[in-house]
């Protein structure tokens, strides 16, 4: 199996964390990529018309994207339990995954505003609104601690953890821990998992 890799992509990290949790980490080979919101990587586009990472190639040659599809494929391959099979538990887990992905979507847009858009064209209010998605989402988690209950390990909690990793990576001055101490305490413990403390490089 192969995945087009970027060391700072939180969505690639989400897939690799999932593979690690499922005992598949050693089976996933990293492929170099140069995904960029402006200068698109033609090598990726040959596999994935969106030209985005993660783009994943199975042992059988099937191409999968995005992270939600890749992670569910890995869970199915390993006969894992990161995605509940059905019922209320499945919908709750997928919704928590969507919350984590939404934090990442907003953070990536804010990041692109900083580094990809020419300075005269930047829109501070737009950037602030994107980062506010993280703020309101963390407030939601603070108000509903059952969503990140101790011992809960599934695609929802893993996605939220990857989102917090990216906030720390790109927005270290955000200071989210001060405003959301319960989430901070959960993350301090959860991020010690081997899958989340692992690093990957080409």
Q: What is the pLDDT of residue 34?
A: 86
Residues 48 and 100 in one domain: no
Domain termination residue (choose one: 45, 77, 109): 77
Q: Please, which pLDDT band fits residue 202 given cuts at 50, 70 and 90?
A: confident
Domain containing 174 — which CATH number?
A: 1.20.1050.10
Query: Averaged over 173-197, what is the pLDDT?
Result: 97
Residues 124 and 103 in one domain: yes
Nearest in space to 41 (alpha carbons), one of 95, 5, 81: 5
Q: What is the pLDDT of residue 31?
A: 96
Kindly state whether residue 109 falls inside one of the protein's structural domains: yes
Residues 55 and 142 in one domain: no
Residues 50 and 96 in one domain: no
Query: Averaged over 67-76, what is the pLDDT?
Result: 98
Q: What is the pLDDT of residue 37?
A: 82
CB-based burial label for 77 (10 Å; 0-12, 13-18, 19+)? middle
Q: In this structure, are residues 31 and 3 in contact, taking their beta carbons and an 8 Å threshold?
A: yes
pLDDT over threshold 90, residue 38: no
Nearest in space to 1 (alpha carbons), one of 28, 37, 40: 28
Kindly state whether residue 202 falls inside one of the protein's structural domains: no
Domain termination residue (choose one: 57, 77, 97): 77
Residues 111 and 184 in one domain: yes
Cα dist. 163→35, 100, 137, 151, 168 in Å?
A: 19, 6, 11, 19, 9
Q: What is the pLDDT of residue 39?
A: 87
Domain termination residue (choose one: 77, 111, 132): 77
pLDDT over threshold 90, residue 190: yes
Residues 133 and 170 in one domain: yes
Report residue 126: phi and psi, to 5°. Answer: -65, -45
Domain containing 10 — which CATH number?
A: 3.40.30.10
Q: What whole-number distance in Å separates Cα of residue 73 and Cα of residue 68?
A: 9
Mean pLDDT of all residues belonging to the chain? 96
Residues 128 and 32 in one domain: no
> Within 10 Å of residue 6's Cβ, how many Cβ atoms?
21
Kindly state whether residue 130 falls inside one of the protein's structural domains: yes
Q: How many domains does the chain have?
A: 2
Residue 56: give the domain boundaries.
Answer: 2-77
pLDDT over threshold 90, residue 120: yes
Residues 39 and 138 in one domain: no
pLDDT over threshold 90, residue 36: no
3, β-bridge pairs: 30, 56
Q: In this structure, are residues 66 and 10 in contact, taking their beta carbons and an 8 Å threshold?
A: no
Residues 97 and 24 in one domain: no
């Amino acid at each position: 199996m192969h995945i087009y890799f970027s060391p700072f992509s939180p969505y690639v990290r989400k897939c690799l964390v999932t593979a690690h949790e499922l005992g598949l980490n050693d089976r996933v080979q990293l492929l170099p990529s140069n995904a960029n919101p402006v200068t698109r990587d033609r090598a990726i586009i040959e596999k994935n018309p969106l030209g985005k990472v993660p783009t994943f190639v199975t042992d059988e040659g099937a191409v999968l994207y995005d992270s939600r599809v890749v992670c569910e494929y890995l869970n199915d391959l390993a006969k894992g339990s990161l995605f509940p099979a059905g019922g209320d538990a499945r919908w709750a887990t997928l919704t928590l995954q969507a919350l984590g992905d939404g934090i990442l979507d907003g953070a990536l847009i804010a990041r692109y505003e900083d580094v990809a858009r020419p300075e005269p064209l930047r829109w501070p209010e737009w950037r602030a609104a994107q980062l506010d998605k993280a703020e309101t989402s963390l407030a939601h988690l603070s108000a509903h601690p059952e969503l990140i209950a101790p011992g809960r390990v599934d695609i929802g909690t893993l996605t939220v953890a990857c989102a917090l990793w990216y906030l720390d990576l790109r927005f270290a001055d955000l200071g989210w821990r001060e405003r959301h101490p319960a989430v901070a305490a959960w993350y301090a413990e959860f991020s010690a998992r081997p899958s989340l403390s692992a690093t990957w490089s080409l």
